[in-house]
């Protein structure tokens, strides 16, 4: 559907701005009027990572007058494969500051506002209230639901994107004109069912593909041109090089934007709502958790146990804790691997950060391996506290 422009035009463009944006100005659908709307627009990018990088760079190049960046993380070397707004010299710097520097280098006419913090229920209304449009570049379900709920309650549109391995999705959610994120995904997936990019990986250039769609949609909304993806989900398969547009209808029974909403304020705890780990896993790790240093002490003392790595084979090839054997979590949860596990020695599980091993631990305890334990923090904790010479990822 066509929608009216989201913002009013600025009073004028300078001579320098006319030169800079000339290729926009000669497009009839954009023109001087559309460019003045972009100049007057205030857009917030939630996240300066994989999706936030191309989004911020192209929003800046397009001439969006005010760009907000909300990001709490620091630049890590593993980010540079896809987060192109950062460079080698930025490692260790706050991502918000690194991204802001790049934006200013791309376009000095852009006013950059840094929010060097994690978005949460305490600050989201205050931050979102300063902007016309939100671009969601988050990579976890808790923040996605928070962004959606805050946008709906404030009556603001936002452009959403998601990436994983070779697949991407994008849409525009604006409850006043179509569905919200909860209409598409009423409930978050069960804990551990959908791996994060940190667990499953992502093709770096996929970020540019989906991020550029997000910026295209943002420009269309701000300038009031074309037909935004309100009520549509764009699905991209990089391996097949295919795009599919799926119709998404507003759910009249949606708990947030439906006819009789039961959610009228932000959820108290979005992490709990999305379940970082299942209740079974939370119960299983009680009195069944050891640290990476304790694992090293057990190894040095020649304690008799089997160390099981529940990550995927590709991760095992990158880095492994000495002495570990690979049995992916899926084989444990399905029961396929249970016959391989010894009954006469203690089982010690680990993964990358401790989430998947907690889920596998719950399955083992349910199968009768009562003395099984898992390693808190997994490989990341081992690299940090025991052997920093090993690569992190």
Residues 118/120/125/128 CA torsion (nearest 10 deg):
40
Tell me how far CA of residue 102 lies from CA of 54, 78, 87, 99, 164, in angstroms: 11, 19, 10, 5, 25
Q: What is the C-alpha to C-alpha distance for residues 226 and 224, in angstroms, rounded to an integer? A: 7
* Residue 60, CA atoms < 13 Å, CB-side half-sphere: 26
Using alpha carbons, select from 161, 162, 156, 104 the residue that is nearest to residue 127. Answer: 156
Rg (CA), the chain: 23
Q: What is the C-alpha to C-alpha distance for residues 265 and 150, in angstroms, rounded to an integer? A: 8
Non-local CB neighbours of 355 within 8 Å, separated by 6+ positions? 191, 192, 276, 277, 281
Whether 367 and 360 have beta carbons less than 8 Å apart is answered as no
197 labelled catalytic: yes
CB atoms within 10 A of CB 295: 25
Q: Phi/psi class of residue 196: alpha, beta or left (left: φ > 0; alpha: ψ in -120 to 50)?
A: beta
Q: What is the C-alpha to C-alpha distance for residues 393 and 92, in angstroms, rounded to an integer? A: 15
Choosing from 180, 197, 207, 254, the catalytic residue is 197
Choosing from 45, 180, 257, 351, the catalytic residue is 351
Edge-to-edge strands of the sheet including 373-375?
A: 289-290, 373-375, 346-350, 305-309, 325-326
Q: Which two tokens stand for residue 210?
A: 């989906």
351 labelled catalytic: yes
Q: Which residues are catalytic?
A: 197, 351
């Amino acid at each position: 559907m066509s929608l009216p422009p989201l913002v009013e035009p600025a009073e004028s463009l300078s001579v320098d701005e006319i030169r800079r944006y000339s290729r926009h100005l000669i497009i009839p659908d954009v023109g001087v009027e559309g460019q003045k709307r972009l100049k007057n627009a205030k857009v917030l990018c939630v996240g300066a990572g994989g999706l936030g990088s191309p989004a911020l760079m192209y929003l800046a190049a397009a001439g969006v007058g005010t760009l907000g960046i909300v990001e709490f993380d620091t630049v890590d070397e593993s980010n540079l494969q896809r987060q192109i707004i950062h460079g080698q010299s930025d490692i260790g710097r706050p991502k918000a500051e690194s991204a802001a520097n790049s934006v200013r280098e791309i376009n000095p006419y852009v006013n950059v506002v840094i929010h060097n913090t994690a978005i949460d229920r305490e600050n989201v209304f205050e931050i979102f209230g300063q902007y016309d449009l939100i671009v969601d570049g988050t990579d976890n379900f808790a923040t996605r639901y928070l962004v959606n709920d805050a946008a709906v309650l404030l009556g603001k549109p936002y452009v959403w994107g998601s990436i994983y391995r070779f697949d991407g999705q994008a849409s525009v959610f604006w409850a006043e004109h179509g569905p919200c994120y909860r209409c598409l995904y009423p409930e978050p997936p069960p804990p551990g069912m959908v791996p994060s990019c940190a667990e499953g990986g992502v093709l770096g250039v996929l970020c540019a593909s989906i991020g550029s769609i997000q910026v295209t949609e943002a420009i269309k909304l701000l300038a009031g041109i074309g037909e935004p993806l309100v009520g549509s989900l764009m699905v991209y398969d990089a391996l097949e090089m295919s795009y599919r547009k799926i119709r998404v209808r507003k759910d009249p029974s949606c708990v947030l934007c439906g006819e009789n909403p039961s959610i009228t304020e932000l959820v108290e705890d979005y992490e709990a709502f999305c379940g970082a780990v299942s209740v079974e896993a939370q119960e299983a790790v009680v009195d069944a958790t050891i640290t990476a240093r304790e694992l090293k002490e057990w190894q040095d003392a020649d304690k008799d146990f089997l160390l099981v790595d529940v990550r995927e084979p590709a991760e095992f090839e990158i880095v492994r804790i000495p002495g570990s054997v690979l049995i992916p979590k899926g084989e444990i949860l399905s029961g396929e691997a249970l016959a391989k596990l010894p009954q006469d020695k203690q089982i010690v599980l680990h993964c990358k950060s401790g989430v998947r091993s907690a889920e596998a631990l719950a399955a083992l305890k349910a199968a009768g391996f009562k003395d099984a334990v898992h390693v808190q923090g997994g490989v990341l904790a081992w690299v940090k506290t025991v052997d920093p010479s090993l690569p992190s990822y």
